[in-house]
Structure 1
Amino acid sequence: MAPPCFADCPSHPDAGGERALNAAEAVAEACAHLGWTYQRLAPLGDILAANLKWLAGYRHPRNAGRPGLMPAVLDAFAQPRPLLQGAETAGDPIEVLPALFHALWHRQLTTDLDTPSTSRSWSARPRAETAWTGREAAGERPAQRPAGAQGRGSRPLPRREVAGGRPGRAGHPPHRPGRRR
């Protein structure tokens, strides 16, 4: 079994300058002490980074749509097809596209993220048809969450009392009337 890996993925090759390189050395030493490996990865290409950042906006469960919509989306893409054609097959594209992008983010469907993201240039296909690299290519299944576990972004924030005795959300300042945010 391979040791755990800590991956550092900077936004550009010179991100952080000399301080970041010194920090990387310290992190590599700490990882080695723990039996982990450390890798500073090459930055993502501009198109891939932009596409991932955009799709990340659809990661929240609310984008999966109404009950029954996601199965219709997955059925529409049982065979590879252009995004708009599949969205129209599954229903009203205004309703279907957020669910489609949610499925792409969660790797239920896949597309070539190295091409610019336009509805005419992307086509989606079931994940099973994807030529994955790494663990999936070796026949290993990716780690599954325990039943009932929620991923980051879907976990409710803890409740706390804020000024005035009102309940609030941790990490969010209370609203103060008359002050601009």
Structure 2
Amino acid sequence: MSKIKIGILTISDRASQGVYEDISGKEIIKVMSEYISSDWTPLYQVIPDEQHLIEEKLIAFSDEEGCCLIFTTGGTGPAPRDVTPEATENVCKKMMPGFGELMRQESLQYVPTAILSRQTAGIRNKTLIVNLPGKPKSIRECVQAVFPAIPYCLELIGHPFLDTNDDHIKVFRPKK
């Protein structure tokens, strides 16, 4: 079996220009390293808040690189340059609104501004794309909320079994 590829796409004008270090994408890699025990590799990139670039990279990670899962971080707020959800919707065939609903519900336990977040998720061919917030603490909270459903979702869209580390996360799979 080939190594599992997971795309990690940080969307930030300033991080892409080197104004500051991207810590959000690195947090996703850290969390996935804790949660996944299967052999996997991250495909990581930082790009500016440009919708066409986001769409191009999501398509490349999915169609050319064969990622089963892509996490984005950043660009999910109400600001004019926050266009990650629009890019995700444009490249996906099926939207999975439950992911965004659960992430906002989780974040609302910590900050009332969680209602401003527009994260979503969708499926492009055989790739699950999940938009995460931009702050590392929020990333961990949101991934912890939605990850229990991700391995089974990946199986349903045609990927092999993803082994996880029960010491860090409990995932749900229906009994066969």
Q: What TM-score, normalized by structure 2, do the two folds share?
A: 0.24
Flag the structure with higher helix content.
2
Flag the structure with higher strand content.
2
Q: Relative contact order, CA 8 A, sep 6+: which one is greater?
A: 2
Q: What TM-score, normalized by structure 1, do the two folds share?
A: 0.24
Q: Which has the larger radius of gyration?
A: 1
